[in-house]
Chains A and B, each alone.
Chain A
Amino acid sequence: MVNSERVLTSLRRGLVEFCTLAILRDGPAYGLDMARRLQSDGLIAGQSTLYPMLARVLSSGLAESEWVESPSGRPRKYYTLTDEGHEALRVFEESWGPLRDAVDHTLRRSS
């Protein structure tokens, strides 16, 4: 049985990573902040799904991390977009627009 949650889960895969890169384009961010932004935007269901994604982003060189002292005294791990990450995000944006339009066109035509 296909339900909305299943459809969303399938659609989110692959997209959320670029959305994460988009968040980092605005500047360094740490995990808790990014997780809650993504969740509030409806891009992830559970905040925990962000962290394996961040691990992949780091291992692929699209972002890098560093520990920074926070005002509360606890070090925070900040993530920063690399040049490769910027390029990957640019390619995604170039592809996403036509893809989104194509999907919308197909859905409208078949309805």
Chain B
Amino acid sequence: MTGDELPAAARLWLVAAEWELRHADARERDETLEGLRSHIAEALDRGERVEDILAGLGSPADVADGVDRKTGDLPGPQVAGEPVPARTRRRRVGADGSTGAGRVVHLIGFGLALLGAGWFSLLPGYVESTIDPATGQISGPTTHLLLFTMDPRAAGALAAAVLLTVVPLLVRRRPVRPVAVWIGALMVLLAVATTGWNVGWFLLPAAAATVVAAVLPNGSRKRRRRDGVAAVGRRLRVGYRGAARTPIVGPMNAAIIACGAPGGVGIQSGVDASDTGPARPRIGYGRSAEGHQRVSVSSSLLASGSTSVVPTAAGAISGVAASCPAAASGAGPIASIA
């Protein structure tokens, strides 16, 4: 009795068993199926019912369990040289769906995001000098870091962005992480593209790492934080003084001039059209403290020449500009008088 001569139920059972053995070594699979066919035929010749025979054999899936002995706890005599079933050759993937490489790159991206945020926060926000209206003596300049001078909302957003970078690392469910990583990567790239050489510059290394993590098989989740950082970056650029500065502005921070205007007259508002498209109030604020006026001006405004400063007293501004250290050092005029 050949396989084709077996009852339909037996043939179906054998087809199912063959499917279950699809990962097994071809030679062992053929040998196994041959033994099963012989078993069924022999039992049929003894007059047994096919239903009873198949019930005695058990489920076709049990055959595969017998093949996949690599999962067993006790090695048998054929371990040495035994072909490894294909199902055991799968690349090791974490429970969260990330590969080791993807996770490492993701961690690197997180570190870069943290570094970028820290670097940005520690940049000089402005340099402040004060002029005593009574004596005309200039004190300072004093450097103020962005960490302490940026808008609280911007600082909060920056911190939130760092936290968002951590969240994807903590996501364990497989379907979630790859999606988070890809969305984060795309958003960070978009943020870098839209912020140009401002905050985006700080995000660029992390963005690159996030993209690499995203393209890795079952990639990691680094980009999501980037994304948040990027979104924060846009707000930062708009929302705090000196935000138009870029890393290349670091040396130029010396040219960020803060001058007080004597006589209660000072720069009250500024317009930065250098990189944000529509002009918007960016820099310059007036604050009275014991008769001193403190004004900060972004160096990028000075460099671009697009700054428009509206003084309350043109003459006073001119005088201040002439006495400011940056102006004296050749950094250019502090402001043009409207």
In the complex, A60→B41 CA distance in Å?
A: 26
Residue from the list A15, A47, A59, A85 in contact with B57, Cβ < 8 A: A47
For residue B56, CB closer than 8 A to chain A, the reply is yes
Contacts of B42 in A (CB 8 A): 30-32, 70, 74, 76
Residue from the list A18, A31, A47, A72 in contact with B45, Cβ < 8 A: A72
A60 CB, min distance to chain B CBs, angstroms? 4
Contacts of A18 in B (CB 8 A): 76-77
Please tell me if the beta carbons of B39 and A60 are within 8 angstroms of each other in the complex. Answer: no
Please tell me if the beta carbons of B82 and A52 are within 8 angstroms of each other in the complex. Answer: no
Residue with the greatest number of chain B CB neighbours at <10 A, chosen from A39, A54, A62:
A54
For residue A27, CB closer than 8 A to chain B, the reply is no
For residue B90, CB closer than 8 A to chain A, the reply is no
Residues of A within 8 A of B (CB): 9-11, 13-15, 17-18, 21, 30-32, 35-36, 39, 45-60, 62, 70, 72, 74, 76-77, 85, 88, 92
In the complex, A47→B42 CA distance in Å?
A: 14
A-B pairs with beta carbons under 8 A, tally: 128
For residue B320, CB closer than 8 A to chain A, the reply is no
In the complex, A57→B59 CA distance in Å?
A: 22
Residues of B within 8 A of A (CB): 1, 17, 21, 24-25, 27-29, 31-36, 38-39, 41-43, 45-46, 56-60, 62-67, 69, 72-78, 80-82
In the complex, A90→B46 CA distance in Å?
A: 35
Closest to B1 in A: A74
Residue with the greatest number of chain B CB neighbours at <10 A, chosen from A47, A72, A77, A85:
A47
A31 CB, min distance to chain B CBs, angstroms? 5
In the complex, A2→B137 CA distance in Å?
A: 85
Contacts of A53 in B (CB 8 A): 66
Please tell me if the beta carbons of A21 and B77 are within 8 angstroms of each other in the complex. Answer: yes
Decide yes or no: A52 and B74 within 8 Å by CB, A32-B42, A76-B42, A77-B35 being known contacts: no
A-B contact pairs, 14 of them (CB 8 A): A10-B74, A11-B74, A17-B76, A32-B39, A35-B39, A36-B56, A46-B62, A52-B21, A55-B29, A58-B31, A59-B31, A60-B80, A74-B41, A77-B35
